[in-house]
Amino acid sequence: MLKINEERFRRFIRKARAAIRRADKTDMRGCAPCKKKLLERMKRPKLPRVLNAEVAFHCRTTPTARPQVADLDLYGRHVLFDANSLLAVEVPESAARYARERRAAPPQANGALWCHHQPQWPLIQSPPLKLVLNVTDRCNLACRYCWVRNAPPDDGKPPTMPIKTAIRALDLLKGRQINVSFFGGEPLLAWDVLEAVAEEARKRTPEGQPRPRLHVTTNATLITATMAAKIKQRGMSVLVSLDGPYKVHEVQRPWPGHNSYAATLGGLIALNSAGVRPYLRATFDDPDTDLAGLLEYFSEIVEAGLASGVSIEPAVLSEGCATGVLTAEGADTLARRYHDAAEWYVARARTGKVLDFAPFRKMIQRILYTRHAKSECGAGQGYMMIDADGSIHACHKGGCEIGHLDYGIDESRRAAWSDNRVYHQRKCMTCWARYLCGGGCRHHRLTLSGDVRGEAEAPCRIKKMLIREALWILAELGPERCKAFIR
Ligand code: SF4
Ligand code: SF4
């Protein structure tokens, strides 16, 4: 297999080199017969610079695919990116131009630069491996973009998941390592449920087996020293929602009658004192948000030891209540803001300090180590959400019921979610970003088009922005440097 992969790589490099030579010849024919100029031209770096750290592709995924190359103009840098192998090479402008011209040719024309391919990855039919318990829809904050706040008030659900229901949910994981994430609303409002589940998980885990994996997503405003100590004792990982400095956070995530920013920082400090380093999650709902400024702010929080990293997500992607609308103007603004963030990230990396910023890190990892994203997630497969009323949903965002604890999983309802492979989203197969993206979030598709296989334009645009920035960062820093801080 490796042999084939190496062969493919060499073939691709050969083609890229040939493209450069031909493009250079064309250039030379057109210019004045000035020897000096010609010599200067010949001194130009001719070789494409490979941006992947590993060229031993995980090509078992696409062993027979020929390159399908997208030429990307990344702020003056030119990158040829093979959608099938994930090979990324930086080339001189002349070669990029050549590729662009060739791309317009019919796919049969030498077949090299633009070819359609569908891999055959096995469909992994998995029992639930990870459960999200939506322990309550209640929350002490009134975040302006929150879908729970915007949900119909009387949906017949109990306000908090009964402990009995939460314990019954664990039966879905029978015989496997317990892996549970607590979600809400604000899950700490149902602290007794968390405690009961953690204790039950401990009891159900035989001696010598890996301990239960527990996680909580919280606004951290209610964390006390006792809770923090329990969280540490249980080995629970924590994701804290913090949108930015006081002015940003307080406007977006108000706590009527309280200072929500101070309360969240208080929670972070309590966790820190107990030896817990949470990950941060920020949400923004205006495309013209100063993302570079936010990264600067979060880098201070991380340096102070209060968190291990941050993810900043647009509300348009994150919550079911988001409109999903991103105007063309908004998209341009957002792309600029992401690029500012990428410039900040590169400048920071050059000083030897790196902030773990999940959206860039994830994409850089995939390119750097040629890791194909076969799907976006395992929703409806290995991953499921149990709501407070015992209903089972494919995804933690809800509104996608596939069963109930009373009668188990209804396979006919799960069917729509059962195949998550990227090539089952028809439009994705013509998209150059497909094996980095993985096909996008199916819940977004459901929310925006009413169908898990429907269209979701805004998320696609944002995904491609992130991938372009990741490629640009790789071109700026080079794979070796990126390898030093991204594993
Ligand atoms: S960016 Fe959009 S079209 Fe492209 S692979 Fe992702 S979801 Fe599919
Ligand atoms: S469907 Fe979307 S929101 Fe749900 S788990 Fe998958 S990626 Fe996440």
436 Cβ inside 6 Å of ligand 1: no
C-alpha to C-alpha distance for 323 and 35, rounded to whole angstroms? 60
Question: Any residues with Cβ below 6 Å from ligand 2, and which?
Answer: 376-377, 379, 383, 395, 397, 441-443
pLDDT band at 3 (very low <50, low <70, confident <90, very high): very low
463 Cβ inside 6 Å of ligand 1: yes
Question: In this model, does residue 467 exceed pLDDT 50?
Answer: yes
Q: Which residue reads 């109990």 in tokens?
A: 158
Question: In this model, does residue 419 exceed pLDDT 50?
Answer: yes
pLDDT band at 377 (very low <50, low <70, confident <90, very high): very high
**Residue 462 CA to ligand 2 centre (angstroms):** 15
C-alpha to C-alpha distance for 302 and 277, rounded to whole angstroms? 9
**Residue 176 CA to ligand 2 centre (angstroms):** 22
C-alpha to C-alpha distance for 416 and 278, rounded to whole angstroms? 34
Q: Would you tell me how many other CB atoms lie within 10 Å of the CB of residue 307?
A: 23
For 219-236, what is each residue's pLDDT tens digit? 999 999 999 999 999 999
**Residue 21 CA to ligand 1 centre (angstroms):** 33
428 Cβ inside 6 Å of ligand 1: yes
Q: How far is CA 86 from the centre of its chain?
A: 17
The residue whose CB lies within 8 Å of the most ligand 1 atoms, and thus the one to mutate among 420, 425, 430, 453, is 425
More confident: 406 or 34: 406
Q: Which residue reads 């994203």 in tokens?
A: 373
C-alpha to C-alpha distance for 385 and 169, rounded to whole angstroms? 10
What pLDDT does 33 receive? 47
What pLDDT does 294 receive? 98
Q: Which of 60-64, 224-228, 360-364, 440-444 has the lowest mean pLDDT?
A: 60-64
Q: Which of 6-10, 93-97, 338-342, 436-440 has the lowest mean pLDDT?
A: 6-10
The arithmetic mean of pLDDT across residues 269-294, rounded, is 96
Atom of ligand 2 nearest to the CA of 377: 6
For 202-212, what is each residue's pLDDT tens digit? 999 999 999 99
The arithmetic mean of pLDDT across residues 355-379, rounded, is 93
In this prediction the pTM is 0.86
The residue whose CB lies within 8 Å of the most ligand 2 atoms, and thus the one to mutate among 132, 311, 321, 395, is 395
The arithmetic mean of pLDDT across residues 281-285, rounded, is 93
The arithmetic mean of pLDDT across residues 369-384, rounded, is 91
C-alpha to C-alpha distance for 364 and 354, rounded to whole angstroms? 13
Question: What 3 state SS string does the chain have?
Answer: CHHHHHHHHHHHHHHHHHHHHHHHHHHHHHCCCCHHHHHHHHHCCCCCEECCCCCCCCHHHCCCCCCCEEEEEECCEEEEEECCCCCEEEECHHHHHHHHHHHCCCCCCCCCCCCCCCCCCCCCCCCCCEEEEEEECCCCCCCCCCCCCCCCCCCCCCCECCHHHHHHHHHHHCCCCCEEEEEECCHHHHHHHHHHHHHHHHHHCCCCCCCCEEEEEECCCCCCHHHHHHHHHHCCEEEEECCCCHHHHHHHCCCCCCCHHHHHHHHHHHHHHCCCCCEEEEEECCCCCCHHHHHHHHHHHHHCCCCCCEEEEEHHHHCCCCCCCCCHHHHHHHHHHHHHHHHHHHHHHHCCCCCCEHHHHHHHHHHHCCCCCCCCCCECCCEEEECCCCEEECCCCCCCEEEECCCEECHHHHHHHHCCCHHHCHHHHHCCCHHHHCCCCHHHHHHHHCCCCCCCHHHHHHHHHHHHHHHHHHHHHHHHHHHHHCC
The answer to whether 372 touches 61, Cβ cutoff 8 Å, is yes
104-113, 421-430, 477-486, range with greatest mean pLDDT: 477-486
**Residues 6 or more apart in contact with residue 273 via CB below 8 angstroms:** 225, 228
Q: Which residue reads 């696409």 in tokens?
A: 62
The answer to whether 80 touches 96, Cβ cutoff 8 Å, is yes
- Strand 179-184 to strand 130-136: parallel, antiparallel, or no bridges (unpaired)? parallel
Q: Whose CA is nearest to atom 2 of ligand 1?
A: 460
pLDDT band at 84 (very low <50, low <70, confident <90, very high): confident
Mean pLDDT value across the chain: 84
The answer to whether 284 touches 290, Cβ cutoff 8 Å, is no
C-alpha to C-alpha distance for 121 and 205, rounded to whole angstroms? 33
C-alpha to C-alpha distance for 177 and 300, rounded to whole angstroms? 36
C-alpha to C-alpha distance for 455 and 96, rounded to whole angstroms? 30
Ligand nearest 439 Cα, by number? 1
Atom of ligand 2 nearest to the CA of 443: 1
Atom of ligand 1 nearest to the CA of 427: 3
The answer to whether 67 touches 82, Cβ cutoff 8 Å, is yes
**Residue 305 CA to ligand 2 centre (angstroms):** 29
Of 145, 138, 135, the residue nearest 253 (C-alpha):
145
Q: Whose CA is nearest to atom 1 of ligand 1?
A: 460
What pLDDT does 101 receive? 73
**Residue 430 CA to ligand 1 centre (angstroms):** 9
The answer to whether 223 touches 188, Cβ cutoff 8 Å, is yes
Looking at the DSSP bridge assignments, the partners of residue 73 are 78
The arithmetic mean of pLDDT across residues 271-286, rounded, is 96
Question: In this model, does residue 466 exceed pLDDT 50?
Answer: yes
